[in-house]
């Protein structure tokens, strides 16, 4: 699949979900996942300071909402997404001028478009929909970040996911459908813990690798959350895998 087709399929898939996306993830389990991610994000932004946050695959604005509710930093926010529909849903929820939204594939955003960003984030597997080799993606992101003190939080689909193994084995590239949808799919790249650590070391990053827990997408019952949270700092077999550096 060439880059043009990849981008077209991403745009078509996420546009098709844009009006229903927030409702799809309006559940007690998703709320707990959001709290887990918020707790990891908050320490990455110094309290009470002015910070520029860049989100890749920002969707309908959940990442911005989590930061606004769970940090005291003065956030200047830029969100990038390939889907006009997702960005329209984001814009409807926020005042004009509150955020900056860019409709473009991450792959096509120029290397010199941003500088001195305090936090680059791609939440809930958004980094898996960027068609760049992992080391090239990190190189691009590091070029946008503040050289000293910049942080990143990148979430990917896990190549060793037990949930996806019956259909896809451990293939690095798959066709992925969000867990509450059927039919249409988007191309996605998957990585293992070893892949993320190898790429981080190549760029001199000390990375922490975690997940959203082994039961996400498999056994999303309230009584199972405590066990899921207990195991969320580990990655074998999990649906997602997150790099924090």
Question: Which residue pairs, CB below 8 angstroms and at least 24 apart, start in 101-105?
Answer: 101/58, 102/78, 104/80, 105/7, 105/10, 105/130, 105/131
For the chain, the straight-line distance linking the first and the last C-alpha, in angstroms and rounded, comes to: 31
- pLDDT exceeds cutoff 80 at 12: yes
Domain residue limits at 172 = 3-244
DSSP label of 117? B
pLDDT per residue as tens digits for the range 205-222: 999 999 999 998 888 888
CATH number, domain with residue 226: 3.40.50.150
pLDDT per residue as tens digits for the range 33-79: 999 999 999 999 999 999 999 999 999 999 999 999 999 999 999 99
pTM of the model: 0.95
Would you state the pLDDT for residue 22? 93
Would you state the pLDDT for residue 63? 97
Give the residue from 72, 54, 73, 59 showing the smallest Cα distance to 151. Answer: 54
Question: Residue 1: pLDDT band by 50, 70, 90 thresholds?
Answer: confident
Would you state the pLDDT for residue 201? 97
pLDDT per residue as tens digits for the range 75-100: 999 999 999 999 999 999 988 778 99
pLDDT per residue as tens digits for the range 104-140: 999 999 999 999 999 999 999 999 999 999 999 999 9
DSSP label of 133? -
- pLDDT exceeds cutoff 80 at 179: no
Select, from the ranges 81-85, 163-167, 221-225, the one with the highest average predicted confidence (pLDDT): 81-85
- pLDDT exceeds cutoff 90 at 241: yes
CA distance 12 to 89: 15
Give the residue from 31, 26, 32, 28 showing the smallest Cα distance to 229. Answer: 32
Structural domain count, the chain: 1
């Amino acid at each position: 699949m060439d880059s043009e087709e990849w981008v077209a399929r991403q745009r078509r898939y996420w546009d098709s979900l844009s009006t229903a996306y927030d409702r799809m993830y309006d559940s007690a389990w998703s709320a707990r996942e959001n709290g887990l991610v918020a707790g990891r994000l908050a320490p990455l932004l110094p309290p009470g300071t002015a910070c520029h946050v860049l989100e890749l695959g920002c969707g309908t604005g959940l990442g911005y909402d989590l930061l606004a509710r769970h940090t005291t930093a003065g956030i200047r926010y830029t969100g990038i997404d390939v889907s006009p529909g997702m960005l329209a849903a984001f814009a409807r929820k926020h005042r004009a001028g509150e955020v900056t939204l860019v409709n473009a594939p991450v792959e096509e955003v120029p290397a010199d478009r941003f500088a001195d960003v305090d936090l680059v984030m791609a939440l809930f597997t958004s980094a898996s929909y960027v068609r760049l080799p992992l080391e090239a993606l990190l190189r691009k992101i590091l070029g946008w970040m503040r050289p000293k003190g910049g942080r990143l939080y990148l979430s990917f689909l896990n190549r060793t996911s037990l949930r996806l193994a019956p259909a896809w084995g451990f293939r690095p590239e798959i066709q992925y459908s969000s867990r509450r949808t059927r039919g249409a799919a988007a191309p996605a790249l998957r990585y293992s813990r070893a892949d993320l650590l190898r790429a981080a070391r190549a760029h001199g990053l000390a990375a922490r690798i975690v997940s959203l827990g082994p039961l996400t997408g498999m056994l999303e019952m309230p009584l199972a959350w405590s066990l899921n949270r207990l195991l969320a700092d580990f990655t074998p077999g999990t649906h997602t895998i997150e790099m924090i550096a």
